[in-house]
Chain A
Amino acid sequence: MTGRETILDVRGLRVRFRTLDGTVEAVKGIDIHVGAGETVAVVGESGSGKSQTMMAAMRLLASNGEASGTVDYRGRNLLELGKSDLNKVRGSKISMIFQEPMTSLDPLYTIGNQLIEPIRRHRGLGAAEARKEALKLLRLVRIPDPERRMKSYPYEMSGGQRQRVMIAMALANDPDILIADEPTTALDVTIQGEILTLLAELQQKLGMAIVFITHDLGIVRRFADRVYVMRSGEVVEEGETEALFSAPQHDYTKMLLAAEPTGSKDPPPPNAPVLLEGRNVEVTFRIGGGFLAGEPMLLRAVDRISVRLKRRQTIGIVGESGSGKSTLGRALLRLLPSDGVIRFDDKDISHADRQAMRPLRRELQLVFQDPFGSLSPRMTVGQVVTEGLLVHEPELSGRQRDQRAVEALREVGIDPNARNRYPHEFSGGQRQRIAIARAMILKPKVVVLDEPTSALDRSVQKQIVDLLRQLQAEHDLSYLFISHDLSVVRAMADYIIVMRQGKIVEEGPTEAIFDHPQDTYTQTLMAAAIDSTRFRASA
C-alpha cells in the first residue's frame, strides 16, 4: 500500500469494559492504519475484539466501555473530539454499516425519512433537495422502484434490501471511510454475493476506503487489499491479502485458514433400512382471518415433499431463509400439523397424537440453531441434559441420572465436572455441545439438526461437525441436517435436498449436486457459496 496517504491511524488503542466481574480488556493496545481508497479487512472470531476496535474508533462503545490510545483521522484524534465536532465526522466523513440489517433501521420511520435525515443534517439541504439526493442514493444501491420505496417501512423490505438502504445511508454524504461490520453475515449466500459486488462497485465509483470487519475468510480473500488478524484483543498478524493467505506466519492464522470443514461422508449401504419416511408432506400456515376479517391467507410452507432417511444416512436440506427447510424438519418429527404420510420405523405416525408420539420422542430428537436461546438459563447443565430422562426413563434414580449426564457430557467433549454450572458460563460452541448431549443422552435413532453450526465461529463449526460425524458412527445415527451453509453440508451429508419456496428443486448424492448441479437455482447457490473470484480488481 505504498504511496497511499494514511487517513485513519489507530495507535495503541485499548478498550476496557467495566463489568460486575471487574474490568475486562477487549482490545489490548493495537495499531491499525487505513490508506485513502484502501480496503482493509479485520478478521477474527467472535470475542477477538474486531468489532469493538471500530466501535471505539466511532465512539459507539456501550456506556460501560472506555477507550484509550489515539484514533487519528486526518490529523484529528477522534477519541478526544467534542460531541458536536464528532457528529460532523460520523455519518459524513466516516460512516458505518452493521451486521444486523433487520434491526439497524428505525422500524417506526419510512426509509425516505431515515435517508433524508443525515443528508439534511450534514449538508444543510432543504427538504426537497434532500429528497432528490435520497432518491439518487436508492438508485445508486439499486433498490427497485425507489419512489415507492421511499414511503416503505423497514419491515416491508427483505434483509438484503435493508442492507442496501443501510449502505445508501452510509454513503449519503460521500464518506472518506466506510466501516462495514459483518455486513453480509446475516444474509443468504446469494444475497451476500450481491451486496459484496455492490460494495465493490461503489468503492470503485466513489473511491472511499473500506474497513471490512468479518470472520469470513472467503470474503477477505476476494475483497481486501490488506488484512489484520485479531485474536483476544490483539493483532497477531497483518499483511497484504495474497501474501497472508499463501504464507501465513502465525499459528492462529494458519488455524483459521484450515478451519473450513473438510472430508465427506460415505452413503449408507444400499440395503440399509429406511427409518424415517415422509410421502407428499405438506404444511400450510393460515395467516389472518377471523371474525369479519374475511378468508385467511394460506401459505404453503412445505409443498408435497417426499423424503426417505435411511439408517446411518445424513440428508442435507439446503435452501435460503423462507425456503421451508426448517418447517419440513419439524413436520417430519410431527412437531407441526401436516398432510401426507409420515412413517417412522415402519409405523405410520401421520396421525399419532401427543400421547402416541411421546414414547417415540426419545428416538426422534432435535437440535436447534441457537445455542443461546435453546438452553434454559435457570437450569444447570446437568439438569438440562437429563431433563428428557425424567420423561422417558422415570425409573432411573437421581444417582443413575447423574451418571448418565457424566457419560453424555464426556461424549460431547464437555468436562463432566462442569455439570452444576449454568449455560451462560459456557461459550457458544460449548453450549451447542451441551444441546447435542441433551439429544444424545436419550439414545435416539434420528436427529434433526436445524442449522446447528450457523451461530458458531468457523473453527468451532469444524469441531462440531467432527463431533457429529463421530457420534453418528458410534451410535448408528441418522441425521437430517438443515443448513444454508453449503461447505458444512458438503462435509456432513451423503445426500442433498435443495429446497426453494417449499418445493424440492433438486436432490441427489452430495458429490453429484456439488459437481453437476442441474437446476439453475442450485447453480446460483453453488456459485455464490464456492466461487472464489475476486469482487474487485486488485488496486
Chain B
Amino acid sequence: MLLYVFRRLLTAIPTLFVIVTLAFFLIRVAPGGPFNQERGLSPEIKANLEAQFGLNDPLWVQYLHYLKNLAHGDFGPSYNLPDFTVGELFAKGLPISVQLGASALVLALLLGSLLGTVAALNQNKAGDYSVIALATAGSTIPTFVIAPIIQLVFGLTWRLLPIGGWGDGAFVNKIGPVLTLALPQIAIVARLMRGSMIESLHSHHIRTARALGLSDWSVVVKHALRGAVLPIVSFTGPAAAALLTGSIIVETIFAIPGVGRYFVDAALNRDYTLVMGTVVVIAIFTIVFNLIVDIMYAVVDPRVRYD
C-alpha cells in the first residue's frame, strides 16, 4: 500500500508538469499583459515594470525561470497586488477557503447520505419523493440566488446572522457561506446515495442477511450502507478539490477573504503568476484528493487492493 502511494505521488509529478506547462503558455497566448489595462501608465514605467519582472525575456527563458522557482516552492510576486507574493496571498486566503469548503463538504456528506438513505428505505413513498424534490431544488437553484436569499432572510429580516464578512472566523459568519456551498452538494450526494442504496438493498447478500434474521439496523447500516457509500467516495475526490479551493460566487457575495476570487480576477488582469499559482494549487488538491479517494476505496472494499 505504501509503495502504491509512493508510486501515485511519483506519477503525479509529470501530470503536474504538463498542467503547469499548458497553463503557462495558454495564459501567455491570451492578448494583453499584466500592465496593459492600468490607466495612464506611461510607456517608460510600463517598460520598467516589465523589465523588473523579466517579462521581456524570451518566453522559454521565462518558462524555465518559473519552473525553477516553482521547484523551490516560490510562486513569484503577484503583478497586480504588488505588495504580496503569490505565496503570501495563498497563505492568507487558503486556510479560510479550506475551512469553509471542508465544513460544507462534511455537512454535505453527512446530510446528503442521511437523506439519500431515508429516501432509499422509503422507495417510491412520500419520504422518497420529498427528498427527491428537495434534491432537485437544491441542484437547480444557483448559488448566486441562494446566497442573497440567506442574506436577506437570516441577515436582514431576522437578524440572526451577519450579512457578510469573515469576522476573524467567528462561527456565525461561517453559517451563511457554508450553507450556500453545501446545499447543491447535499442535493448531489442525496441523489447518489439514494441510487446506490436502492441497488445495495436489492443485492443478494442483503437478502441473505434478512434470511438470517439480522436486525434491520444491521441489515441497513452494516451491510447495505457500506457497499452503498462507494459511489459517494468517488464523488468526494473532485468535489473536495473544488470546494476547498474556494468559490468565487460565495466569497464575493459574503465578502470572504478567501482564494476563490483569485482565479477569475487574476485571469482577467493577466496576473500571470497568480493564475499559475491558482492552477498549481487546484491541481495539487485534485491529485491529492483523488489519491485519498483511491485509498479510501481500498479501506471500504477489501476486493480493491493496490500492490
Contacts and interface: CB of A to CB of B under 8 A. Distances in A.
B227 interface: yes
A90 B210 contact: yes
Interface string B118-151: 0000010000000000000000000000000000
Contacts of A58: 211
Given A98-B208, A104-B204, A292-B7, A118 B213 contact: yes
A98 B204 contact: yes
B227 A107 contact: yes
Given A105-B205, A108-B227, A155 B303 contact: yes
Contacts of A153: 302-303
Contact of A117 (B3, B202, B214): B214
A90 B301 contact: no
A100 interface: yes
Given A108-B227, A108-B300, A155-B303, A103 B211 contact: no
B10 interface: yes
Contact of A60 (B11, B207, B215): B207
B213 A90 contact: yes
Contacts of B226: 108
A110 B205 CA distance: 13
Contacts of B205: 103-107
B211 A96 contact: yes
Contact of B301 (A60, A103, A108): A108
Interface in B93-130: 123
B181 to A, nearest CB: 31
A107 B304 CA distance: 11
B203 A103 contact: yes
Contacts of A169: 208, 212
B261 interface: no
Interface stretch (A81-89, A208-216, A526-534): A81-89
Contact of A91 (B203, B213, B222, B300): B213
A400 B204 CA distance: 47
Interface string B225-238: 01100000000000
Interface string B33-52: 00000000000000000000
Contacts of B21: none
B216 interface: yes
Given A91-B211, A291-B11, A83 B204 contact: no
Interface residues of A, number: 36
Nearest to A89: B213
A168 to B, nearest CB: 11
B295 interface: no
Nearest to B11: A291
A62 B7 CA distance: 46
Contacts of B208: 98, 104-106, 166, 169
A33 interface: no
Given A105-B205, A155-B303, A60 B211 contact: yes
A293 B302 contact: no
Contacts of B300: 108
B18 to A, nearest CB: 16
Contact of B214 (A108, A121, A155): A121
A237 B204 CA distance: 31
A408 to B, nearest CB: 37
A404 B204 CA distance: 42
Contacts of B210: 60, 90
Interface in B276-307: 300-303
Interface string A298-342: 000000000000000000000000000000000000000000000
A91 B204 contact: no
Interface in B183-225: 202-205, 207-216, 218, 222-223
A95 interface: yes
Nearest to A84: B215
Contact of A108 (B123, B216, B302): B302
Interface in A449-507: none
Contacts of A292: 3, 7, 10
Contacts of A106: 205, 208-209, 223, 227
Nearest to B123: A63
A42 to B, nearest CB: 17
A284 B223 CA distance: 38
Interface of B: 3, 7, 10-11, 123, 202-205, 207-216, 218, 222-223, 226-227, 300-303
29 contacts: A62-B202, A63-B123, A87-B213, A87-B214, A88-B213, A89-B213, A90-B211, A91-B211, A91-B214, A92-B213, A95-B211, A98-B204, A98-B211, A100-B204, A103-B204, A104-B204, A104-B207, A107-B227, A107-B302, A107-B303, A108-B227, A108-B300, A110-B302, A118-B212, A121-B214, A121-B218, A122-B213, A292-B3, A293-B7
User: What 7 pairs between A and B have smallest CB-CB spacing?
Assistant: A91-B213, A91-B212, A90-B213, A87-B213, A103-B204, A106-B205, A118-B212
Given A105-B208, A169-B212, 7 more contacts: A60-B210, A90-B210, A95-B212, A117-B214, A121-B218, A291-B11, A292-B7
